[in-house]
Structure 1
Amino acid sequence: MNEYELKVFDEIEDWKRKITRRSGMMNRVSKKAQEKINEFIPEKVHELMTESIKGMVKATLFGSQLTTNRKQAIGLSLEERDELVRIKISSFQKTAIIEGAGTGAGGILLGLADFPLLLTIKMKFLFEAAAIYGFDTKEYEERLFLLHVFQLAFSSDEIRRNTLAVIENWEQRKKELVEMDWRKFQQEYRDYIDFVKMLQLVPGIGAFVGAYANNNLLKTLGETAMNAYRLRILQKAQ
């Protein structure tokens, strides 16, 4: 490893400690409340929501695949790739802020449109990050990895630890994974963002909450993607 790669290795170790730390009291209480609510939702509704989000994500994956320049970082060093990803994170945060403020100011109807719009922004960013770090999303296993990165960013403590273990051992674990657990995927994501997105529908503060929440969600996703892909690169280098 060169000097920069050693620095990145330390950053990844710090990041892993941070994301495996126990969530705060507010997040734990919110998660327990969501689990109770989910118990009262009929199974048919859970199935419908799972299929809806699965279809939404797959459509977004297809669109992002077509619009991503997969050769944009050929020949760049890891340090140069990191800098390019940081620029992308900043750019996507600005897009998400505008989207969140616009839908937040529009009340309930536009607030409902926020979910698919924000999901599209997040998935598009992940495709850009994968391309910059040199991973070909035309391959099914790379799209599956991308979904695990998404799940790692937006899930509860236990699922986050389990997903990190999969990502850390991707070369071995990918052989066992045929399909994403879509039920878990949608439920974890929905539970993660539900509370703040409910506030986004409140008149008067919706625009501010939407902009603030979306900025933080893209920041979390950016940090997660950056470290997950850097982890794989360093593992290959070793």
Structure 2
Amino acid sequence: MDTYEEKVREELKKWETEMCKQPSLWNKTTKSLQTKINEKIPPKVHDVMTSSMKHMIKATLIGSEYTTKKTIKFTADLRERDYKFEDRLSFYKKTAAIEGAGTGAGGILLGIADFPLLLGIKMKFLFEAASIYGLDVKDYKERIFILHVFRLAFSDPHKREEAYQRVISWKETIQEFPESPESINQMNWQELQQDYRDHIDLIKMLQMIPGLGAIVGAYANYHFLDDLGHVAKNCFRWRLLTDEKKKRIINNKHPQ
């Protein structure tokens, strides 16, 4: 095992601890506050968010827009893939920040429009990231994996360990999903969209305040992509290092 791979494995151990830690007092407090905020948000806003989430999930599984990325062939080592990932993450963070500033400057109407736009940016990023680490995004099962990565990134702190276990036990998890578009119904997408909304709603409400929206929107979107990138990088690294066939190809480049 080369030095860089050892470093990555140590980072994955730290990440496991992070994903399995108990919710903090802050998490519990914000959850209570989030519930109260959700009760005050107009039903129309809830409907837009719910509909956007549902259609984006379906598009993720069956839409050609997300399945045209070329998988990087296994001639690239882990260090090279990490470098490429960071480069694309930087691009998507800047893109999300610009989008957030634009919609944030427009008040509540454009603030609502930001929800599906940001969701689309995140999905495009995830598919490109998956390709960088060698996943075939045209494979229906790999698209299901991408959705689980998304779920983990924005999961409720009280459910994060369970979401993490479903990712690292992927061979068992994927058995729940038949290889057909109808298997989307096997996912608890209502829970997925509610956790996602709870994760972003608090700061997104501030984005709708006139005069403050552009600054909050840019910062929030940049931060959300950064959080997603942290989880995605470790999930895809884990897949790469636990896939024996791929690991052998990488190791052949670094004979011991």
* TM-score (normalised: structure 2): 0.83
Counterparts of 2:40 and 2:204, CA distance in 1: 21
Post-superposition Cα deviations, 1:42-82, rounded to whole Å, max 9, x if no partner, equal xxx9899645421133235525425x431445521111011
Post-superposition Cα deviations, 1:96-136, rounded to whole Å, max 9, x if no partner, equal 11001111111111111100000000000000011111111
Question: Which residue identity does 1:217 align to in structure 2?
Answer: F
Asked if structure 1 preserves the Cα contact closer than 8 Å seen for 2:71 and 2:136, the reply is no
Change in CA separation of 1:74 and 1:60 when aligned onto 2, cut-off 3 Å: same
Q: Is the counterpart of residue 65 in structure 1 residue 98 in structure 2?
A: no
Q: Which residue of 2 aligns with 1:80?
A: 80
Q: Which residue of 1 aligns with 2:159?
A: 159
* TM-score (normalised: structure 1): 0.89
Q: Which residue of 1 aligns with 2:225?
A: 218
Asked if structure 1 preserves the Cα contact closer than 8 Å seen for 2:34 and 2:202, the reply is no
Q: Is the counterpart of residue 206 in structure 1 residue 213 in structure 2?
A: yes
Moved more, 23-32 or 146-155: 23-32
Q: Which residue of 2 aligns with 1:53?
A: 53
Asked if structure 2 preserves the Cα contact closer than 8 Å seen for 1:73 and 1:131, the reply is no
Asked if structure 1 preserves the Cα contact closer than 8 Å seen for 2:49 and 2:115, the reply is no
Change in CA separation of 1:130 and 1:115 when aligned onto 2, cut-off 3 Å: same
Q: Which residue of 2 aligns with 1:194?
A: 201
Q: How much is the aligned-residue C-alpha RMSD, in angstroms? A: 2.5
Counterparts of 1:94 and 1:101, CA distance in 2: 11
Counterparts of 1:120 and 1:5, CA distance in 2: 32
Change in CA separation of 1:27 and 1:130 when aligned onto 2, cut-off 3 Å: same
Counterparts of 1:236 and 1:74, CA distance in 2: 12
Question: Which residue identity does 1:207 align to in structure 2?
Answer: A
Secondary structure of residue in 2 paired with 1:175: helix
Counterparts of 2:20 and 2:197, CA distance in 1: 20
Secondary structure of residue in 2 paired with 1:174: helix
Counterparts of 1:8 and 1:65, CA distance in 2: 28
Matches within 5 A, 1:165-184: 165-177=165-177, 178=183, 179-184=186-191
Q: Which residue of 1 aligns with 2:7?
A: 7
Counterparts of 1:204 and 1:38, CA distance in 2: 23
Q: Which residue of 1 aligns with 2:30?
A: 30
Q: Which has the larger radius of gyration?
A: 2
Change in CA separation of 1:208 and 1:63 when aligned onto 2, cut-off 3 Å: farther
Asked if structure 1 preserves the Cα contact closer than 8 Å seen for 2:105 and 2:210, the reply is yes
Shift of 1:223: 0.9
Listed as ranges, the gaps of 5+ residues in structure 1 are none
Change in CA separation of 1:80 and 1:199 when aligned onto 2, cut-off 3 Å: same
Listed as ranges, the gaps of 5+ residues in structure 2 are 178-182, 248-256
Identity %: 50
Shift of 1:19: 2.7
Change in CA separation of 1:76 and 1:122 when aligned onto 2, cut-off 3 Å: same
